Amino acid sequence: MVCRLRLSTYMRLSTVTPAFRRLGRQTFSKANVFHSDRSTTVRGRVPLSIWEKVTAQLHNQSLHPLNILRREIEAHFEKTYPSLFELHSSLSPIVTTEQCFDHLLIPPSHTSRSPTDTYYIDKHTLLRPHMTVHDVPLLRGGSEAFLLCGDVYRRDSVDRTHYPVFHQIDAARLFPCGTSQEYIVDDLKSSLSGLAHHLFGPETRMRWVEGSFPFTSPSFELEIFWRDEWLEVLGCGLIRRGVLQNGNVSNDVNGWAFGLGLERLAMVLFEIPDIRLFWSRDTRFLDQFKDGDFQRKFKPFSAYPSIEKDISFWIGEESTFHENDFHEIVRSLSEDLVESVSMVDRYKRAERTSLCFRIIYRSMERSLTHVEINELHDSLREFVAETLPVTLR
Ligand code: FA5
Ligand code: MG
């Protein structure tokens, strides 16, 4: 039943944008988004399941774990630097391509500009893929230190640590004229390791690795050791001169910026095993955070059994198929019943390539039946065949 419902909501989108259906599989090709006069139809690229989340504002929902973490981070900065940072948590996620890419020196060829990675609303407007998009407008307005929290949108793979909507805290700080770069880098790193120690305790293992962002140089990433692996939790660096110039900041002033993923931190901090849980309305999840304690550990209610299904298809040599399109369809149709999608086989025969993906279905809240998953998987096959440039096997 669930799948029929999702399928119909996806179809409803096609009524909103009739060209979605007309274009069929073409809707998913890059060419249509940028180079055709039908580019206004790209709204069809933002599925209803994503639009539904634009109004959720989990980070502003009192006693939601993301809200608890956001407040803890804001309080830490307030305590360390009294009255220094302006706070913003309600900036609109709908931004222009100029603000998103040009202000931040993101080159024309950068993958984040591609509609396979970013949700375009039309040619000039999109759902922000990170919070740094607000830096230049705020600098232009005269802000010198700010901390921003909001929802961000990216087309990405499906697994326990990735979700197409997540939340970030971004910050930037300018320093008085003549402050040396070494001093600013030291301040940046000590602020962030101070924050990490405050949140996770002094015994947490962490390390700095070299990063690369078009808008900072030098750039760094902070990783935390969690469940036997190093998990990247934030990116940061010295703001590039070109970005400062775009923000009308005078030439002798420098500053730092950072951006961190709230879900990633919250998963480590509260021991939340799957990123889908943040969207759960199940009281067995939400009630565990009722006291607002940021040291609370989540007690999983039960590990429900999983059901695995494979789907295989052929793609042609010149195919416009992009893996993110497939992941997005799975997330959109499955109402969060999918835990992960992974490619398990790929081989080439003559002019075609065969791909096989394994889908692990598992609800966070209940046991799934084989009947409903068979039905959902069949609908998925049908929808993939209809909308992607592939031939099912
Ligand atoms: C950025 O978004 C940069 N804007 C960060 C930045 C700001 C760098 C200012 C320099 C100066 P990145 O794409 O690495 O960088 O994402 C930042 C953090 O968001 C990551 O470290 C990770 O914690 C989180 N993140 C990224 N992708 C996802 C995802 N799909 N799901 C959940 N969290 C994610
Ligand atoms: Mg990164």
Establish whether residue 173 lines the binding site of ligand 1, counting it when its CB lies within 6 angstroms of any ligand atom.
no
Number of H helices, E strands in the chain: 13, 14
Interval 107-138: pLDDT, tens: 999 989 999 899 999 999 999 999 999 999 99
Interval 183-227: pLDDT, tens: 999 999 999 999 998 998 888 899 999 999 999 999 999 999 877
Please give the backbone phi and psi of residue 76, each rounded to the nearest 5 degrees, phi first. -65, -45
Evaluate if residue 372 carries a pLDDT over 60: yes
* Alpha carbon nearest to ligand 1 atom 34, residue: 261
Q: Which residues pair with 145 in a beta bridge?
A: 173
Interval 59-110: pLDDT, tens: 999 999 999 999 999 999 999 999 999 999 999 999 999 999 999 999 999 9
* Alpha carbon nearest to ligand 1 atom 30, residue: 162
Please give the backbone phi and psi of residue 234, each rounded to the nearest 5 degrees, phi first. -155, 160
Task: For residue 47, give every residue at least 6 positions away whose Cβ sits within 8 Å of its Cβ, in sequence order, or none.
Answer: 10, 13, 328, 332
Q: What is the pLDDT of residue 117?
A: 92
Centre of ligand 1 from the C-alpha of residue 185, in Å: 19
| Cβ atoms within 10 Å, residue 360 | 17
145-153/86-88 β-pairing: parallel
Ligand at shortest distance from the CA of 156: 1
Interval 255-288: pLDDT, tens: 999 999 999 999 989 999 999 999 999 999 999 9
Poorest-pLDDT segment among 6-15, 92-101, 160-169, 354-363: 6-15
CA 33 from centre of chain: 21
CA distance 325 to 333: 12
As a whole number, mean pLDDT of residues 308-318 equals: 94
* Alpha carbon nearest to ligand 1 atom 32, residue: 162
Centre of ligand 2 from the C-alpha of residue 390, in Å: 30
Establish whether residue 154 lines the binding site of ligand 1, counting it when its CB lies within 6 angstroms of any ligand atom.
yes
Q: Which residues pair with 354 in a beta bridge?
A: 314, 347
152: left (phi over 0), alpha (psi -120 to 50) or beta: beta
Establish whether residue 28 lines the binding site of ligand 1, counting it when its CB lies within 6 angstroms of any ligand atom.
no
Q: What is the pLDDT of residue 49?
A: 86
Establish whether residue 132 lines the binding site of ligand 1, counting it when its CB lies within 6 angstroms of any ligand atom.
yes
Task: For residue 185, give every residue at least 6 positions away whose Cβ sits within 8 Å of its Cβ, in sequence order, or none.
Answer: 218, 238, 256
The pair of structure tokens assigned to 317 is 């040599």
| Cβ atoms within 10 Å, residue 72 | 18
